[in-house]
Amino acid sequence: MPSTYRAIFAAPGAKKFSAAGFLGRMTLSMAGIGVVTMVSELTGRYGLAGALSATLALSAAVIGPQISRLVDRHGQRRVLRPATLVALTAVGGLLLSAHRGWPDWTLFVFAAGAGCVPSVGSMVRARWAAIYQDSPRELHAAYAWESIVDEVCFIVGPVVSIGLSTSWFPEAGPLLAACFLAAGVFSLTAQRATEPVPHPRGHHAGGSALRSRGLQVLVTTFMATGAIFGAIDVVTVAFAEDEGHKGAASLVLSVYALGSCLAGAVFGTLRLRGSVSRRWLWGICAIAVSMIPLQLVRNLPFLAVALFVAGLAIAPTMVTTMALVERHVPRAHLTEGMTWVSTGLAVGVALGSSAAGGVVDAAGARAGYAVPAVAGALAAAVAFLGYRRLRPAPQREGSGTDGRQDREDRAERRVAQLGGECDRPPGAERGSVVHPGAG
């Protein structure tokens, strides 16, 4: 492990809560694709599979930020454990109804209830932010590390989920995802020493974190970005089946995550200066452009190479996104703000998977890759239109991370927290510091 990452784990308890977060986030990479595989195996209906995956994601998008807002007020342990029990009950109902062939509406009811799954990635990043709130370089490395963990989940998760559902029994993938969620959340919430101090109701006078215009831009852009991810999951499974190797879809999707993981690992060791917002804009554009080669896919090896290249832009962009969330959202709303980004992704995944499932059913798997291309173009357009809301004051652009600017940065954060001003960006341009929490 590079010294940059070894240094952040010197903090007491860091290894334990990051490991717990890894277990909890395996669910993110396994549940959606597991439901798609399960339903397609049981019914052969990709439209239904995509719609159920979309329902699961939309439910999480609606409920997730509310859970995170309660966490900011009352603490992780008091909120996450009951929420997880509700989610596990709903997942159990979903698997039972699919196994017994109950009417479709029962599948959608249980999929909606499963939206109580907490944003484990946001919880872990909030712990890092509490530890390194005055150390920008360490926080940058911590966020990069968590982006690596996200991508490792997406390397391992689809392989395990699709593999179990296709080779053992259809419900096996989502079932194991539920087990990972239980293990991760209950392990994380048992670690009280690193849990961020909750903020009482008085600190939330400014309302929701989503009042921040900068956060609105990030969430909207990531709705389109999430549509890319959701569509690619569904279409890749269908494309692999057309090629006669459905089980290979998990390997191809893992290669996609591998590209992102490698890029994130390198990105976390860099000491970057200049505009974080401009770096974010270029990242979104790179993700959009990387969808073009998918329109030329004719076989699985070509698809794997194209997705590996496409993945290189994901983790750095997600790391930079979390840096922007921290700049535009007061600390009393930080967990909620991070979860809103995940919510944007979840909504996009829902829309993308649903649209892709419909296109695959109507025109075939190859035609389905037009969906992520359109979503990428939309993400780039939104990013360009909202870019000005993410930029700091001109005199602060590219000012680096010297001690004076760091002091100004902390002072403005304190003002924003006391005044509840969600839309006030910090003073200094800081080194970029994810995701996902996909998951």
Note the Cα 226 to chain centre separation in Å.
9
- How buried is residue 207: exposed, middle or buried, by Cβ count under 10 Å (0-12/13-18/19+)? exposed
List Cβ neighbours of 336 (8 Å cut-off, separation of 6 or more): 65, 68, 69, 71, 72, 208, 209, 329
Q: Are 154 and 307 in contact (CB under 8 A)?
A: no
pLDDT per residue as tens digits for the range 22-56? 999 898 878 888 888 898 888 888 778 878 887 88
pLDDT per residue as tens digits for the range 374-431? 999 999 999 999 888 876 633 333 333 333 334 444 444 443 343 333 333 333 333 3
- Residue 53: predicted pLDDT: 80
Highest-confidence segment of 4-18, 148-162, 327-341: 4-18
pLDDT per residue as tens digits for the range 55-85? 887 788 788 888 988 888 888 999 999 999 9
Cα dist. 84→23, 126, 326 in Å?
14, 18, 26
- How buried is residue 141: exposed, middle or buried, by Cβ count under 10 Å (0-12/13-18/19+)? buried
pLDDT per residue as tens digits for the range 131-173? 988 887 888 888 888 888 887 887 788 778 888 888 899 899 9
Is pLDDT above 70 for 202? Answer: no
Domains of the chain: 13-192+210-419 (1.20.1250.20)
Cα dist. 284→73, 153, 185, 303 in Å?
33, 22, 31, 21
What does pTM read for this prediction?
0.71
- Residue 200: predicted pLDDT: 67
